Amino acid sequence: MFIKVTSAYALVLLALGCTIVISLIPTYLPAREISEALPTKSQVQNVELRFVSSSGRDLFDAFSVQKQMQNALPKDISTTVLVLNVTQSTISTLFVRYQLVFNRSCRKRCQLQILALAHLRFASLIINLGEISFDEVTGDISKISEYWANIRPYVDNPPTIFGVTETDLPTGCQIEQVHVLHRHGARYPTSDPFDGGNIKRFAEKINQNTKNFFGSLAFLNTWSLQLGEELLVPNGYNAEMISGIDFRNEYGHILNNAFSKSLLRTSGVNRNYQSTIAWATGYFGSSNSTDQYSILSLGYQNGSNNTLYGALACQNLFIPTAFTFNQDEMYSYLAPALLTATIRFNNNTNSTFVFDHIDAFAMQSLCAYEYSALNSSDFCSLFTLNEWRGFEQALNLAFYNVYAFGNETGRAQGIGYVEELLARFQHRLINISHSSVNSTLDSSQTTFPLNQPFYLDMSHDNNIASVLTALSIDYFREDLSQTFPPPNDQHYRVSRMTPFSARMVTEKIRCQSSSFVRMKLNKGILPLNSIRGGFCSRERQDGLCSIENFLASQINASTMANFDYVCFGNYTLDKNVRITDGTLFP
């Protein structure tokens, strides 16, 4: 078996070999002219590479191939291998299409020399395929956690993961303001039926049938549920504090001492409030912190105008199911994805106990939650990588169809934060609201300051997903596959977008007499050139958009969200009509 991996997936490893240098000394990023936005790439090259498989299976992906090709080159030549496509050409060879991305100081003669060297090195390269097959049961946390969707512990994305190939700023540019939309840290399960509700149901089922398990499931004979509900776990608190420290290291030398006291905002639920305190402790330090910041909690009740949980203000009583996961749809995807797992499990129990795919989903959820709360879980060694990919895809589909382009309220749930971001850029208060904006708070600089060097807004996974939708970042707009296993080149992956402690960072950058906007999602630079309308130049490969063009790209954002209608209108959804752009008009 082999998997055809497309170029979008291959871009992930471009960041390997790069070192993130963190310094408390004011610095500018490596020099280059603003006009030099296009990378220096070779023409597309073709090569046939021999491969061996220690697992006895022909399993490969562009990640592995690109990493091994990169490692075959000397580290001092500052050239990056970009694999575009990998296919199997014979029983023992791979056909690889690739480009080399050169350092800007490497001119034509240098490039030709590196190309020749690459051809020589690749001619003798033997690709070693991974030891773990996608259809092999594994408990390797470093591999399986990549597919834990929105309950994945935080991991930095490579800067190029979303397709932006230039990660340096132009000459003379400096970050002068930063806006952080942050998710809370790792928590215990919620009370939602598909989440904590399903876990409790499974725990009760197990506890009524003890001494019925053997083999890999023998631990269930003594297992009991040790998880709380909703609150932050210790690892979640620590992750938020580390995030504050990292932010201080990355931006503190620019923003330090630029403002006397900062207002930090949080969605008014305990795990978010505690996450805000943890982040602030990391950024400001533990002593006299409240002298340097204050916290504003936004209402968390249904109907509250809360831009950090926009769904609260968008409660359409006529469409009560529009804001909850369609469990039947999610479980129907998981049924074939977890069929083999349930067969394995039923072979390790007596005939009176029967596992189904809903039980298996609960066991996958328990793996992730127990690992976050207890640092280990016996459930983590029960599934294959493909079964974990199915777990993630079920949640990808759920998020996309409830909080993003697949739901008529997808834009409306996120538009409030977008409106606030634009208002901060334009140094204006918001006196009238037609969205989740609380105009009572946002009409006063006491509760909506306009001159802070940085803003921290502690939010939720669903809200970040909706904000990306409201911004019309079409990189994430796609027709998600409902087949199993899911494709490798899918852009919309919740594991990369909204893990625990996720952060969407918007930088305002000053370059001589011009200002630019750059956005990052968990350190991955967002492709603003994919925003609808083409205002942010499609020729740029560095993720920058002039602030004038960024504002122009959002001029119709509120109109597109159509908040009043989708959130309060009395309309009927035709089951045969699919929502594809996160909105609905009469």
Give the side-chain half-sphere CA count within 13 A for 555.
Answer: 9
Give mean pLDDT, residues 208-234.
94
pLDDT score of 34: 38
Could you give the strand order of the β-sheet that contains 126-129, starting from the edge strand earlier in sequence? 80-88, 93-101, 45-53, 126-129
pLDDT of residue 276 exceeding 70, the answer is: yes
For 409-433, the DSSP string reads: THHHHHHHHHHHHHHHHTT----S-
pLDDT of residue 11 exceeding 90: no
Residues, the chain, total?
586
pLDDT on residue 382 = 97
State the DSSP string of 190-256: -S-IIIIIHHHHHHHHHHTSTT-B-GGGGGGGT------SSSBPHHHHHHHHHHHHHHHHHHHHHHT
- Distance, in Å, from the CA atom of 70 to the CA atom of 118, rounded to the nearest integer, reads 9
pLDDT, position 317: 65
Tell me the per-residue pLDDT of 301-311, one tens digit each, with 9 for 90 and over.
Answer: 989 999 999 99
Picking from 521, 456, 504, 492, the residue whose alpha carbon sits closest to that of residue 580 is 492
Tell me the CB-side half-sphere exposure of residue 372, using CA atoms within 13 A: 29
Model confidence, pTM: 0.79
Kindly report, residue by residue over 35-92, the tens digit of the pLDDT. Answer: 343 447 788 899 988 887 654 444 556 667 887 888 889 877 878 888 888 888 887 8
Cα–Cα distance between 117 and 121 in angstroms, integer? 6
For residue 178, report the phi and psi dihedrals to the nearest 5 degrees.
Answer: -135, 135
Q: Where are the domains of the chain?
A: 7-131, 173-186+233-320+407-475+493-568, 193-226+323-400
pLDDT score of 183 more than 70: yes
The whole-number average pLDDT for the span 402-417 is: 96
Calpha distance 130→385 (Å, rounded): 12
Q: Bigger pLDDT: 513 or 236? A: 236
Distances in Å between the Cα of 175 and the Cα atoms of 169, 252, 435, 516, 523 are 9, 11, 30, 9, 15
Q: In the structure, what pLDDT confidence band is assigned to residue 257 with cuts at 50, 70 and 90?
A: low
d(CA 476, CA 472): 9
| Residue 566 near residue 408 (C-beta atoms within 8 A) | yes
Question: What torsion, rounded to 10 degrees, do the Cα atoms 291, 297, 298, 300 define?
Answer: 170
Asked if 562 contacts 582 with a C-beta cutoff of 8 angstroms, the reply is: no
Q: Report which of 451, 464, 420 is spatially closest to residue 557, judged by C-alpha positions.
A: 420
Which is higher by pLDDT, 113 or 187?
A: 187
Q: What is the pLDDT of residue 335?
A: 95
Q: How far apart are CA 386 and CA 60, in angstroms?
A: 14
- Burial tier of 98 (Cβ tally within 10 Å: 0-12, 13-18, 19+): buried
Phi, psi (degrees; rounded to nearest 5) at 202: -65, -45
Asked, as a colleague might, if the bond just before 487 is cis with ω within 30 of 0, I would say: no
Residue 457 has pLDDT above 80, yes or no: yes
Average pLDDT, the chain: 88
What is the mean pLDDT of the segment spanning 455-463? 98
User: What pLDDT was estimated at residue 25?
Assistant: 32
Reading the block at residue 58, the tokens are 């022909």
User: What is the reported pLDDT for 26?
Assistant: 34
316 three-class SS: coil
Confidence of residue 104 (pLDDT cuts 50, 70, 90): confident
Rounded distance, CA 90 to CA 103, Å? 34
Q: What's the confidence (pLDDT) of residue 35?
A: 37
pLDDT-derived band at 109 (thresholds 50, 70, 90) equals: confident
**Cα separation, 462 vs 149, whole angstroms:** 12
| pLDDT of the residue at 41 | 79
CA of 499: how far to CAs of 239, 395, 481, 567, in Å? 12, 12, 21, 27
Yes or no: say if 347 and 354 are a contact pair by the CB < 8 Å rule: no
Residue found under tokens 């939720």: 460
Q: Count each helix (H run) and each strand (E run) in the chain, helices first.
A: 18, 12
CA distances from 1 to 57, 66, 374, 560 (A): 7, 20, 37, 44
- In this prediction, residue 259 carries a pLDDT of 62
Please tell me the class of the 173-186+233-320+407-475+493-568 domain.
alpha beta
CA distances from 520 to 127, 178, 534 (A): 33, 11, 19
Tokens 């078996």, located at residue: 1
Compute the distance between CA of residue 281 and CA of residue 260 in angstroms, rounded to an integer.
16
Report whether 430 contacts 424 (CB < 8 A): no
pLDDT at residue 230 is higher than 90: yes
